Structure 1
Amino acid sequence: MHDISLLTLVLLCAAAAAAGWIDAVVGGGGLLQLPALLVGLPQVAAAHVLGTNKAVAIVGTTAAAITYTRKAPVDVRTAIRIGAAAVAGSFGGAFFASGINSAVLRPLIMVILLAVLTFVLLRPAFGATAATGPVSRNRILLAILVAGLGIGFYDGLIGPGTGTFLVIALSAILHLDLVTASATTKVVNTCTNAGALVMFTAQGAVLWSVALPLAVFNLAGGMVGARMALRRGTGFVRVVLVVVVVTLVCKLAYDQWLA
């Protein structure tokens, strides 16, 4: 085990469980888990923290994806196609990440998030019901381009809120209700996490002794979150979505002007 105290490990496990729950319901669990790892492992290189975070997150997203696909009407084939595009997009984003000034990107992302928040609050019917009938091939292609390549690129470039963006994009483009959009997002996220984890593992940037115990708690949180979303429905997911978007805006504002 990496040299951390028992109290730190317990707190990290609690954060991993909460992150798994948030991620399963609406995405954005990294808002909690990644900062917790950065605080709990202050002497560890950033690349190793990111790699460890992916090793933990993939367990929760996989469990949530399995739970959702058993109960929700998820088009797994379409989700995997979007996920494959997202992996390609994230590789591209990671390639350009070193040359991007995140201080310039944060204000832009905050504006986008505030616009999304306004839209969700002013459109109470958004994501409440799914469209009837099959989704057109054009909409599927648009989802692959926007949710796959576009948001995947963002994930590799900067990352925070990727799951939340996916939920909103899939709901808007494919006319999915928020529960089904969350379910589809978990399949996509599993693909993107797998791609990133392969790269981090090849670089030796995963602290497995820390990741494995945290993954157990992230798994439990993900399963509980998925079941709650399925049981409580779209209204519950909508409330969590608003809370996560507000939290993301506050975090980005803090990083931009106060940190």
Structure 2
Amino acid sequence: IGKTFLFNVCGEMPACGTLDGKPASGCEAEAQMDDVKTLKPGRLVGLEKSLQLSTEGFITLNYTGLPSHPNGRADAFIIRFVCNDDVYPGTPKFLHQDIDSSLGIRDTFFEFETALACVPSPVDCQVTDPAGNEYDLSGLSKARKPWTAVDTFDEGKKRTFYLSVCTPLPYIPGCHGTAVGSCLVTEDKKLNLGVVQISPQVGANGSLSLVYVNGDKCKNQRFSTRINLECAHTTGSPTFQLQND
């Protein structure tokens, strides 16, 4: 429709400026643009926020702006998240805009397909790259004995990383949560490092990876795990590489 819409999910969108003294979460601009720095934001939203889960399982994030009419109505962004375990992190799509010209109010609707909206559960372990090559990782799934990562760091003697491929880990004492795909066990703690809800990802260069998300809290975020798979003529073992804060 010849407009630019910006928003952040459960966070601030600095390019949109402030709303009643608080950073906005989203905004609308009257023209399309390539550089956010040239944005001239309008119809800011994010003064009020709500995240709702319907009985049908739909997750909806609502952002509203300053009331622009005595009845208390305000512009709103309505973002509905749709489960698609093949898409991570995903891209929002503009659906439509409802305009009440008498009140000057606009409700803007978006759809966001993402694996993060899926219930944690086993996923399809087959994936196809852009060239049409098919990969089946189901042979790496283990029902009873999980993979343990080779850890050559000094701390490796005091910790163990348990990993699964496409399916949840079998029972491991202390590794709590639903459909856990990665767990860290040390002498004094046990951490859920991510759950299974995203299908294997294939890059344009043919790289394969598994991503487990929404683990235990880590500061103001949550733990996640990325497993990069490499071609080999024999089955090796996962190797711990690094941890990013």
Q: Normalised by the size of structure 2, how large is the TM-score?
A: 0.23
Higher strand share: 2
Q: Which structure: larger Rg?
A: 2
Structure with greater contact order relative to length (CA < 8 Å, sep ≥ 6): 1
Bigger helix share: 1
